[in-house]
């Protein structure tokens, strides 16, 4: 009985493809794109380039857009762990991945939706997914696709959604 689809959008290849496929599915089913809740969650190392790509994609595709900074919560959690916050180690990175997933899961519950995963087969095979973080979703769109295929599909979507051509070329 899901009413919405929730997807985290970073401005990278994987989340871009997940967003594009979701938009395509909603268009095919004549479901209003506003029922796609796309969230960018800038963290401690988020660059302006990727964040701006994510924002422009969401705006131009006409989905419901949210921006939620996780910086403050990540810093607080790292302090609780007595992390020095200088070393950009696995703890530093995974705290942020888990916070993003927690937010998406809770938002999906609130909005009567499902979380669409963005992790790809290459990351899964190499063990680059964060346990209880970005490997979790209610439906994982990219899990059977290697990174090379994801790159090719994002390029293909330039012809499907030309209004985001500039953003897709930057991803």
Distances (CA, A) of 126 to 74, 105, 146: 25, 24, 11
Return the exposure string of 116-127: e unless at least 16 CB atoms fall within 10 Å of the residue's CB, then b: bbbbbbbbbeee
pLDDT band at 131 (very low <50, low <70, confident <90, very high): confident
Distance CA 42, CA 50 (A): 9
Q: How high is the mean pLDDT of the chain? A: 95
pLDDT at 26: 98
- pTM score of the predicted model: 0.95
The SS3 assignment for 115 reads strand
Place of tokens 């990351």: 123
Strands (E), 62-126: 64-67, 113-117
Tokens representing residue 42 in the block: 């800038």
Relative orientation angle of helices 71-80 and 90-110, to the nearest 10 degrees: 130
pLDDT band at 128 (very low <50, low <70, confident <90, very high): confident
State pLDDT tens for residues 138-170. Answer: 999 999 999 999 999 999 999 999 999 999 999
> Contact, 160 vs 125, CB < 8 A?
no
């Amino acid at each position: 009985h899901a009413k919405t689809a929730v997807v985290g959008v970073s401005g990278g290849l994987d989340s871009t493809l997940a967003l594009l496929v979701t938009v395509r599915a909603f268009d095919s089913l004549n479901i209003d794109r506003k029922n796609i809740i796309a969230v960018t969650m800038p963290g401690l190392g988020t660059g302006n380039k990727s964040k701006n790509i994510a924002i422009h994609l969401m705006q131009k595709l006409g989905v419901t857009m949210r921006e939620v900074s996780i910086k403050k919560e990540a810093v607080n959690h790292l302090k609780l762990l007595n992390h020095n916050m200088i070393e950009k180690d696995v703890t530093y990175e995974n705290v942020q991945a888990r916070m993003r997933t927690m937010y998406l899961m809770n938002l999906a519950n609130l909005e009567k939706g499902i979380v669409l995963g963005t992790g790809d087969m290459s990351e899964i095979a190499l063990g680059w997914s964060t346990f209880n973080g970005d490997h979790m979703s209610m439906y994982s769109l990219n899990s059977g696709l290697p990174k090379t295929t994801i790159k090719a599909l994002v390029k293909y979507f330039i012809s499907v959604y030309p209004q985001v051509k500039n953003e897709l070329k930057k991803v």
